Structure 1
């Protein structure tokens, strides 16, 4: 029942309802003015994550209209140590952040205020992320190694004008540095990878999801995956896709099976026998945000993935010790 959107068109129809489906690039056109919902219900964010086999760096610029956030976090998940945590909450930002309407076209997203400078620049599918915040200086360069990505436009059964337009780009090599507190941490492009989680939409106040995304090398070839469930009506567009040798391979629905504790192994399996991954966690990055009406909690579990993934042509890939994450989020926002 999943629908691939091959032709360019709007995210929303003339009545403000989502046109559901998935694509491998920015096929749909997002227009903030076409949303048929109160402005305080619109949510938009750009989230970048850069990681290697022990360090993870995260940038966020985003808002839920009535509350926004600019943040920078660095942690060593191999040691279970938080190294840097900078966050600024923005009250009533609404449209003042000027979030881009396309995740792939050249654009610049800039926040510069009260001593905080954060800039995301996209040029020819290469990205430069820079930040200066008190004594912190960050510069990261990202380069795509696969022209395909995962794009979904989901409806919600609860509300006709609710939608989730999301673009996830992984299989990006990353290089750069973080300087803070008299220390320096470096990311080498041979062993560091980047993710963009780009989200726009309107959805119910209470929501829950499971998400996993990873990139790495398998026998010298770039391999990646995006997996998720629980958020919106995924009958026409699940967010499950494999990436290998420059191509994208669509999967159907995937189930996340957890143990009694978050640190127990996670099992991620599809319903057609093409995916069977086990995540053995080593670190639980738990985040909680409480502000005004916002009450969010997310357990992002880092560790190693092992198992199998089957491509569209039947090729079975052995996945062994790919370092990445899976998360469970429960949000009220």
Structure 2
């Protein structure tokens, strides 16, 4: 059954190391246990990625243990001035040493080295991001203290296998978290206000195949006085059981079928289109800033285009109501990784 919703709490993996019940859920009903994975430690990938943004600027934070490499990253983006800077620190062979939590709802992650201190702390219904990055760009430091509130609401959780393999993708996207706090760089302080600014969490654990291309888009804002967000994406594994496409409106998730990204790959800054198999997500996308990055180190490579811009079009809720978007700030990306 396509878009099979899983509601029963259960272990993620069966005795053979494969996903016991593929599908999607509104909360983390699957229990992740690193010890149950029947793959070498260097193949296990665990990450927490936060994006906090508004119409004018954004910050992104990654803490990850990808087996034979760790990747810790901070991005600062200024949409009005159309510039961004990303600084990444690679660490060899963490293979579980970062002690990434087994659940998104509890457990802190703290990374420290001579240049970077990046902390994620989860306290009840609030998430704290604290960062001190020395020599972030042009010899200048970056600081931030940001709180994300997490009201009771639906999220997007998906458990996706790879057909015939022990590879799997267990992922949660939490949209529409009101953001409060600041970030500081180059004598400029950027403030986030919970009345209009939001954060997103991309929480993932899994074992992937070596060579993958994925597509992901996400956005948050206020529409009709209510929080509205969306998560769209594809490219990973066998999605026969469920897609990760969903709308969020006033705390409730409205599941979508397939969404296709129509990307002008000769120039990512040209307009994009998005179409859907069920007609419930039909959008045009005007790029503002392409956070492009390519990296190659040993057997690891990555080619990324995370494009921020303005979405306009129509989304349809489960009950048939239309959500009209106009200049809705969001992002969509295409990423090709070998690692």
Q: TM-score, normalised by structure 2?
A: 0.94
Q: Which residue of 56, 61, 67 corresponds with 1:54? A: 56
Structure 2 distance, partners of 1:273, 1:187, is: 34
Structure 1 distance, partners of 2:190, 2:151, is: 24
Structure 1 distance, partners of 2:86, 2:271, is: 27
Q: CA deviation at 1:71?
A: 1.6
C-alpha spacing 1:257/1:55, structure 2 compared with 1 (3 Å): same
Q: Is the CA contact (8 Å cut-off) linking 1:78 and 1:283 kept in structure 2? A: no
- Give structure 2 stretches of 5+ with no counterpart: 135-140
Q: CA deviation at 1:289?
A: 2.0
Structure 2 distance, partners of 1:130, 1:143, is: 15
C-alpha spacing 1:218/1:145, structure 2 compared with 1 (3 Å): farther
Structure 1 match to 2:247: 242
Structure 1 distance, partners of 2:112, 2:169, is: 28
Q: Is the CA contact (8 Å cut-off) linking 1:145 and 1:222 kept in structure 2? A: no
Q: Once the two structures are superposed, what CA deviation does each residue of 1:71-99 show, in whole Å capped at 9, x if it has no partner?
A: 211021332212x5432111111111110
Secondary structure in structure 1 of the residue aligned to 2:35: helix
Structure 2 match to 1:40: 42
Q: Is the CA contact (8 Å cut-off) linking 2:148 and 2:177 kept in structure 1? A: yes
Structure 2 match to 1:99: 100
Structure 1 match to 2:89: 88
Q: Once the two structures are superposed, what CA deviation does each residue of 1:244-301 show, in whole Å capped at 9, x if it has no partner?
A: 0221111111111123421122211210111111111111110122222110011011
Q: Mean alpha-carbon deviation: is it higher for 310-319 or for 205-214?
A: 310-319
Structure 2 distance, partners of 1:297, 1:154, is: 23
Q: Is the CA contact (8 Å cut-off) linking 1:243 and 1:249 kept in structure 2? A: yes
Q: Once the two structures are superposed, what CA deviation does each residue of 1:86-134 show, in whole Å capped at 9, x if it has no partner?
A: 321111111111101111x222111123342211011122101001222
1:260-275 map, 5 Å: 260-275=266-281
CA RMSD of aligned residues (A): 1.4
Q: Once the two structures are superposed, what CA deviation does each residue of 1:212-257 show, in whole Å capped at 9, x if it has no partner?
A: 0111111111101000112111110200010002211111111111
Structure 2 distance, partners of 1:14, 1:202, is: 16
Secondary structure in structure 1 of the residue aligned to 2:180: strand
Structure 2 match to 1:140: 146
Structure 2 match to 1:288: 294
- Aligned pairs, how many? 330
Q: Is the CA contact (8 Å cut-off) linking 2:125 and 2:151 kept in structure 1? A: no
Secondary structure in structure 2 of the residue aligned to 1:25: coil
Q: Which residue of 29, 32, 43 corresponds with 1:30? A: 32
C-alpha spacing 1:185/1:22, structure 2 compared with 1 (3 Å): same
Matched, 1:63 2:53: no
Q: Which residue of 56, 59, 74 corresponds with 1:72? A: 74
Structure 1 match to 2:138: none
Q: Which residue of 304, 329, 333 corresponds with 1:327? A: 333
Q: CA deviation at 1:151?
A: 0.4
- Give structure 1 stretches of 5+ with no counterpart: none
